[in-house]
Each structure stands twice: as structure tokens, then as C-alpha cells.
Structure 1
Amino acid sequence: MTNMLFNLILTKNISKICTSTLWRLYPLITRSATTTSNAETVDLAYSSYEYTDNTSAMPPLVILHGLLGSKNNWNSMSKAIHKKTGRKVISIDARNHGDSKHSPQHTYPHMAHDVMKLLKKLEISKVSVMGHSMGGRTAMVLSLLCSDLVSSLIVVDISPVKTSPQIFSMINLFDAMVAVSIRSGIAMSKARKLADDQLKAIIPDVNLRNFLITNLVQTNNGSYTWRVNIPSLKDNFQQNIATFPASLKGLQYAGPTLFIGGSLSDYIGKNDLPEIQEYFPLADLTFIEGAGHWVHSQKPEKFLEIVCKFLSEK
């Protein structure tokens, strides 16, 4: 029975399961995921931005960060969206990232199930979802697997139909981070400087180095480590992160959908929309001039304007 349920969730029949039914089946699905793939859903860390009286009738906005990022990267934007729209905003750390649990398994269906588990725990039955890069694909998978849960979808600089050649250079970043060696007991500021010096030879982009170094943490015994689960991310990267799940082809999410790309990025192209609409028939595609892959941090004011306009209309 449990194997049948998990297979149902990962196949095209998921579109026939409503949210309320999914919640009732959730314990069986989770146990099935364990026996089928030797991995369970994990508990996700999150930050919530909301008014104390929590009077908004609009669905909360869930934000999903990209690879090697965390909910902290979205702190300022989460606050700005909440202030401008009045919506509750929930920014989540993906498995193997930030303060969330680690797992040897890192696939988009597993990450989507993690989000489902969190929303069930929070007793939230309807959300808008926005994801960047890896988080954008998680958001897409969530909307395809459980369309009744998602009131609207925003995908930031990633596509279900193409992959930027640049994405495969991520393997070099994993290796560079693993090679960093910092002695115990020194101040965090000095540790960050040492990490930057060691990464510089392989990663010339100072902004990218600074982004990676946000993952450097000091343990209770004074040693330094990365809070992201680099071995798991590297093991899963080629097959489960760099590409969109082929098994979901044929599924559709027919709710309001907006894809936002950076004009300087090649993660999503202007000619991708027809293929995107095979998954998301109501999808619109817009580009922010002068922005690369990190659209939300490179052009925050324009990004905020576009996102809040979409949320106010949808």
C-alpha cells in the first residue's frame, strides 16, 4: 500500500489528489519514501514575517532559496514583500542547507515533500510559492505534485526546460570549499579572510566568494566547517539538481505563474516560454534588465516591484 502511494505521488496521477487527501495520506507517504529510497522527509528551518494580529486573508508567500544559499539571503526581501503586500512571508532553509537537517538524498521531489511536511505542521493549506534557481525548481515540482496547495507561483531565473552550461561549474565550487582549511580557535572575521584567500585562486568573483563564505560556521569546540552538506550536494548534483525531473513531464500546474529572468543570465531564455507553458499553461515570462542569475540581489527594487504587482493581482 505504502509503495503504491509513494509511486502515485511521483507519477502523473498526483494531479488527481487534492490537498486535503494528501494531508491524510502524508504519514503513509513519508514511511513509503523511507522504504523506497532509504530517505525520509526532513524538518526544515524557517523564518516567518507577519503581523502580530495575523489578520491577512491572503495566502502566505513561501520563499525557497537557491543552491548553497539559505533563508538568511532573503531576509531583507522577505521583510520588504511582507511590508508592501501585508502577506505573511515564510522563508525556508532547504534540506542540506542553513539550519535544516542533512540527508544523503537531495532530489526535487524530496525537497517538495519537505515543504509539504512543514506546511502541514504549520496548518497552512494554501500558499503562494516563490523560488530562486534550485528553489525555483523545488517550487515548480511542489506546484506540479500538489497543485491544490499552490495559489500562485513565482520562479526566479531557472527553467524546467533548459539548463545553463554555467551550472556544471558548481562541481568546482564544491571542491574548492572542501579544500579550505582553517585552524580552530581564531575569530570569525579572521576565518572568513582565510577562507576568502584560499577560494580566490579558483573563484575570482568576489561576490560569489562572499556568498559561499556565508556558509562558514564555527562549532562548539572552536573548529570551522561548512553548514551546507557538501558531500550530499556533490553526489546528487549531476543527476538530481542540475536537471529538472523528467518523470514529471506531462503534469501541469494551471494556476497563475510568473517566471522572472535576468537579462544577463542564460539560465532561462526568451524563447523558452512555449515549452514552459507545457508545464505551466498560464505562465508569463519577464526579464529584468541589467540583472544576472541573482536577480533579486542585483536589482532588488525592480524585483520587488514586479513580485508585489503579481501578488497583488493574483
Structure 2
Amino acid sequence: MDLGELHGSGAGGRITRADIIRAAGTAAKPVSSDGRTKASPLARKLAAESGIDIAKVPGSGRNGTVRAADVREATQTPSEPPSAQTRSLPSAQEQALPAVGRSRKETDRTGTARLMARSKREIPHFYLSTTIDMGTALDWMRDRNTALPLSERLIPAALMLKAVACAAEEVPELNGHWIDDAFVPARQVRLGVAVALRQGGLVVPALGEAEHRSLPEVMSSLKDLVSRARRGRLRASETADPSITITSLGDQGVECVFGVIYPPQVALVGLGRVIERPAAVNGLLGVRPTLTATLSLDHRAANGATGARFLNCLDRLLQRPEEL
């Protein structure tokens, strides 16, 4: 294809940058005297970092020289993008390449750092929070636990996880992934649970279909996942494709958590510790156990009204623990 063939192919008969790149792609690749593809030093550096064969990148510079902008465009617009519905989502561990010669602890920290830096760089975060009265839920849990052996008793975290999973099912706009500039809802709730490792780093195993499990099943699965995560015994399938993540630091005394979203998810729920605070109930002042729940949201996929609906749903569910 030459420029004569390009005439009239762009909008309004004008030659566009895309037309020029297509033409360059069909022409013979220009090479320098040493046989290498003509490219700027920055273009070569970007291509090397991105793992792209620079000989296959159409050049838009003088005499077909590959520029940095050409490499960036090639990395952003692959020739055959996978379908958003069929793409396999990488786990948090797979999204960061391990560094050669580093310890497991250093590698875990580096992987988490890269993923979180990407999240804050690419995702327009905004945050919502609410205070939930936990009196009804804790009273119900204590009454239930009195009739159970110690090994089968529930802890507040089980109630919270089940409530978050049920809220994600009721508000599906937050249960899914942002892929190819669009929100793709997940087919089921796969609740990612952030687990801090004793040697450092973070892992997020996924609890599948928690919204359909009984509270004892959620409790048992939670204990098993946390135990095996800290021993490095998780299966690959258990860290793949979480659709929404929960992070809780209440057991460490933290009152409020504003977390960073795990891409490509669009929401993260943060839970603090249950604290007794003064509260007005039916016109009377008293002391109630309360929980601060926060929601980190991707503004590309959700707005404040959607987030508020999720938090209201979470509050309602925790006021009816017998229905969880």
C-alpha cells in the first residue's frame, strides 16, 4: 500500500495516523547499516521492557523509524485482543514477575508493591464508609455459640464475610472486573480474603460461593484458607479470579481501613475492629458495639449511589444474622 492508496481512506478523505501506521506495516521494514531495525533509543528500551519484538512494530518516524509512541501504541492495542468474557484473569501473584536472586519474602513484597502501584496509578479510587451497630449480630452469635463445642463456635469475621458475599450478590455492579475499558460482571461471588503472611507480603485466596454457604461452612473454609496461606500451601485455583476483596485489620486493633483495590477488581471492603461507642437508640443514649465498614471503589465502574446501596445492604444483613 502506498500513499496514493491511502487517499480517501481516513475520515473525510484525510490521511490519519492509523492509515500511515497500516501503510508502514505493509511496507518493507527499514533497517540500519548494521542490519537492525531503525528505532530511537527510547523505543528500543520500551520494547525491551515490554517484551515486544521491535522488528514487528510499524514505524511512523522519518524513513519508517520506530518511535517510542509507536511502541506504546503497540503495547496498548494488541492485534488480536482476547475476549473479555473468556480471558483468564491473572492472580495477584501472577501479575508481578519474581526477581531473580531474591528471597521469597523480598519477592512477595516486590510483587505486592508492583500490583498496588499499578492500582493507584490506573484506578480512580474513591471511598465511602459507614458505622454499623453490631449489637444484634454479636448477641445472636453468643447465644448460638453457647450450645456448640469450642471448635465449632463462630467468630465475628465469619458473619462479616458471609454478609459481604451476600451484599455482593445483591449489588452485582461491584462484583466483577474492569477489562478492556468496560465492566465485566462475575458469574459468581468469589470473595478474596487478604491474608498477611508472617514472613512479610500479602496473599489473597478466594472463597467461592460464600453467599450460598452456611455460616459454619464459611467459618471452616476461612480457617482452612488462612492456615494454608500462611504455610504456603494454597492451590493456584484458590488465588485466581477473586471478584471482590475484603480486608480486615480489626484483630490488630485498627478501627478503620481504606484499602487499595486489587486490579482488575472494582471494589474492596475494609473492616475495622468492633468498638463500644456512645449511641442513641430509640431516643435513649447508651453504649453499643459498632463496626466501621469502608468501601474502596473504582469510579470508572461505579458511583457513590451504587456504593451506598452496597453499604446499606451490608448493614441490613448484619442486623438479621439469623438469615445469613
Question: Which structure carries more strand by proportion?
Answer: 2
TM-score norm. by structure 1 comes to: 0.24
Which has the higher Rg, Structure 1 or Structure 2?
2
Question: Which structure carries more helix by proportion?
Answer: 1
TM-score norm. by structure 2 comes to: 0.23
